[in-house]
Amino acid sequence: MFLDDGEVEDHYRFSRFLLGYQKTNLFGLYQGIFNYHEASPREVHQWRIEGTLVENIIQLFESWPEPSRGCYYPWWKDNLYIFNRTPEVVDSCHAVEFMEYPMSQLDPADRDIENKDLEPEAKREAFFFFAMIVNQWVPPTETSVWYSFGFCTCRNAVLPEGQFIQYHSESALAGLYRSLLGTVPDKSMERHFGDIYRRIMPKPRCSFTEFWKAYDRESLPSLFKKYGLEREMKQVTPHFAEFISSRFVHPSVWTLMNHLAILTEVEQDQEISPPIMADYGFMFCQSTRQKNALLKAYKKVLLVADPLDLHQACIRGQLWSFCSRVVPDLDKGLQSVMRNLYPLNLAETSLDKHYSPPRRRNAKHHHPSTTPVNTSLSPVPTGSSMANVPLHQAAKRGYGGRYTQEDRYKVRREAVEDAQPQGLIASLTNYLFSWIPFWIRT
C-alpha cells in the first residue's frame, strides 16, 4: 500500500518506514482507528497537530481487550522506534536498513568491500538488483537494472499513469524474482502474523552467489527452471524468458520500451539513444515537439501491438504502414519520420494482416521463438556458426532455440549490403551500419 501524496506520507509517518509491507501495516492500523474505533479524521488530524498522535493511538487500542486489538497494533508497538524517528535521521537509517540484509548474503570476502566496487560488473549489477528485490522494491524505470533484468518486457511499461494490470506487470515480475530470492526476514511480522506471514513472504530458493553467476553466464532461465519456477517465468510476460537469455544483445524495441517507460508529459527534449534514433525515425525529426509526438505515437502503438511485431516492422522498413494499421487515427504528419535507412527486404508477408482494428491478433502467430532478432544491431562473435549467414536469411530463419547461445550474437553488419541500396543512400547506409554495434556497447 503506497500513497501518492508526499505530504500525507510525512504527516502520518508512512515515510518513516522503508518497506512496502511496513507501510501497508501502518495503513491497516489507521483503518482500525477510523473503522473500528470510530475516531474521526478531524480528531486524528488534531492529534497530529498537538503532537499526541502516539499517545492517543495507544490509549485508543489499550482500552480494548487484548484479543480484540488485531495484529497491526502489536506490530506497530514493536516498531514504534521507527514510527518516532525524526525526519532528519530517516534517510540515514533507511540506507543502513536497506543494505543490512543484502550485505549479509555476500560471500565473506566481499562484505568489507564497498558495494560500488564489487567485481565483476555482473556481480555489482546483480547485487543492486538483489537489494531492491529482497526489500520488496520494484526497480525504478530510471535504473539500469530495470532494463537488464527484463522489466522492459512488462506490458504496463507503456500503460497510462495510474492504470494497472495484474499480469505482465512490473509488480508481477518483481514477485517472480522474490519467489527465487526471498525477502528480508522480519521477526516482528512472524511473531504477530504467524502462519499468514510465513505463507505470503517467500523464503530464498537460491543464494545470491548462484544468482549473480547465472546472470553472468546468461543462464537465468535455467535457474528459474531449476527451482520449479519455469511455468511462472513463461507466464509473467511473453518475452521475458527470451530477454534474460542474453545480457548484451537485444532487439532495439526493448530500448524503445525503456524510453517510453520514463517518458514525461513535459514538452522537453527527450534524450534518445543512437540505436533508437536510427531504427525508429527520430533522426529525421526536425524539432523537439516532433520527437515527443513520435515517442507518444509509439506508446499508443505498443498499447495494442506486440513489441516484437513492431520490431519486425522496423527491420522490414514498414514502420508507418504497420503503426497506422494498429492505430488508425495516428497523426499523418509522422509518416515522413516514421521510417529508417536500412529496411531488410525480407520475402515474407507483411505483418499488417494481423492488425485490422478492432480485431486483436491471435497470440499463437507471434510466439517469441519464431520472431527474428533486430539483425541490424546484433554483433557476431568470432567462430559463431552463424557468422557466414547473410543478414536477411538469418532474420528470416530466426534463432529461438534452434542455435546455440553463441549463435544469438550472430548477424554480421556487412550483410546489410544484401539489401542493395543505391547511390548516395547506399554509402550513407553502410556508414551508419559500421557504427551501430559500437553505439550499443557504449
Residue 381 has pLDDT above 70, yes or no: no
264 vs 397, residue with greater confidence: 264
The listed range with the strongest mean pLDDT (148-152, 165-169, 196-200, 359-363) is 148-152
Angstrom distance (rounded) from CA 366 to CA 25: 42
Same domain, 236 and 151: yes
**Lowest-pLDDT range of 3-7, 139-143, 330-334:** 3-7
Answer yes or no: is 305 within a domain.
yes
Q: Does 248 reside within a domain?
A: no
Q: Does residue 110 form part of some domain?
A: yes
Residue 162: pLDDT band with limits 50, 70, 90: low
Residue 38 sits in the same domain as residue 78: yes
Residues 356, 395 within the same domain: yes
Rounded Cα gap, residues 323 and 301, in angstroms: 6
Single out the residue in 212, 243, 274 at which a domain terminates: 243
Residue 13 lies in a domain: yes
Q: With H, G, I as helix, E, B as strand and everything else as coil, classify residue 383.
A: coil
281 Ramachandran zone, left/alpha/beta (phi>0; psi -120 to 50)? left
Same domain, 235 and 139: yes
In a domain, 54, yes or no: yes
Q: Note whether residue 317 is domain-resident.
A: yes
Last residue of a domain, one of 187, 208, 243: 243
The arithmetic mean of pLDDT across residues 333-349, rounded, is 72
Q: How many domains does the chain have?
A: 3
354 and 387 inside one domain = yes
pLDDT tens per residue across span 275-323 = 899 999 999 999 888 998 999 999 999 988 999 999 999 988 999 999 9
Quick check: 109 and 88 in contact, CB under 8 A?
Answer: no
Confidence class for position 415, pLDDT limits 50, 70, 90: very low
Q: 264 or 346: whose pLDDT is higher?
A: 264
Q: Which of 56, 85, 114 is the last residue of a domain?
A: 85
pLDDT at 438 over 80: no
Confidence of residue 115 (pLDDT cuts 50, 70, 90): confident
Omega within 30 of 0 (cis) for the link into 120: yes
Residues 177 and 315 in one domain: no
Tell me, yes or no, whether 100 and 52 share the same domain.
Answer: no
Average pLDDT, the chain: 76
Is 410 found in the same domain as 319? yes
pLDDT in tens, 249-268: 999 999 999 888 887 655 56
Amino acid occupying residue 27: F
Shared domain check, 96 and 81: no
Whether the predicted pLDDT of 242 surpasses 90:
yes
C-alpha cell at 268: 522537453
Mean pLDDT value across residues 142-160:
85
From the number of C-beta atoms within 10 Å of its C-beta (0-12, 13-18, 19+), residue 146 rates as buried
> What are 124-135's pLDDT values in tens digits?
999 999 999 998
38 and 96 together in one domain: no
On whether both 55 and 103 belong to a single domain, the answer is no
In a domain, 141, yes or no: yes
Range of the domain at 400: 253-441
Which pLDDT band, with edges at 50, 70 and 90, does 359 fall under?
A: very low
Q: Is the pTM of this model over 0.85?
A: no
Hunting for cell 522498413 — which residue is that? 317
List phi, psi (to 5°) of 311: -65, -45
Domain identity same for 371 and 232? no
Is 345 inside a domain boundary?
yes
The whole-number pLDDT of residue 21 equals: 78
Output DSSP code: residue 404: -
